[in-house]
Structure 1
Amino acid sequence: MADSIDRLFRAVQAAQGAKPSSSRTARLVHSDRAKIAKKVAEEATEVIIEAMDDHHDNVVRESADLVYNLTVLWAAVGVTPGEVWKEMHRREQLYGIAEKLAKRPPKARRKRVPPEGLRKRG
C-alpha cells in the first residue's frame, strides 16, 4: 500500500506544477489549504457514515477518496509519505503497531472552589 500512496503523492506533486485546468488534482492542489482540508473532513465523514450503515463496499470507495484527499493535503503542507511512515515506525517500536500515542498527557484535576459569593453559608 505504501507504494500506491507514494505513487499517488508523486502524481500530486506533478499536478502542483500543472495548470489548474489540466485535471481535478491540479485544480485541487492549486486551491487554498482550507478547501483541501474541508475535502479531507468531508471524505472522513463519508467513511464514518458508510461504516455506521455497514456498507462495506462504500467504506472501501470512500476510504480511497479519503486517502487521495489526505495525500493532497500532505503535499500542500509539505509533508511526505515517508515522514508519515517514519512516525508510524517510531510508534510501532514504542507501543506496538496497533497503538496510538496520546495527544498530550492528561491534566491534573484541581478541586474547584466556587467564587466567594456563590459559596454555601452555614
Structure 2
Amino acid sequence: MIADTARCPCLSGDTYGDCCGRLHRGEAHAPTAERLMRSRFSAFAVGDAAYLLASWHPSTRPTSLELDPGIRWYRLDIDGTERGGMLDSSGTVEFTAHYRSDAGAGEQHETSNFAKVDGRWYYVDGA
C-alpha cells in the first residue's frame, strides 16, 4: 500500500489520504465517473484488487481479479470525458494509463463506460 501522506497516484495533486485513499477505504464514494476512473487507476497503482472489484458493475464484474505485481502504474492522462457528472446516470472516460514492467515502458489507452446505480458510480466496461 501507500502512505496517506504520499502524493496520490491519480495525480490530482492531493495526498493519497485526502484523495483516492478515502474512496479505497470506503469513507466516500466517487461523485463523478472521472473521479471513479482516477480512483480505479490508483487502486491498480497500489495493488487494491478488492476496491477494483467493489467498484465494478455487478453485470460485468469478474469473480476474482489478480493484479500483476511486475507492473508499476505511474501516470494517468484523462484524454476526454462525456457525461458522467454528478447529475448523470452514465458516462465515458477516455484515458491513457502509463506503466513500467520488466519488458519496459508501456501504456494502455481505453474508453471506459460507467453507470451510476443508487447514487454510486461503477465501472462497466471499456474498449
Structure having the higher Rg: 1
Q: 1 or 2, which has the higher strand percentage?
A: 2
Q: 1 or 2, which has the higher helix percentage?
A: 1
Normalising by structure 1, we get a TM-score of 0.21
Normalising by structure 2, we get a TM-score of 0.20
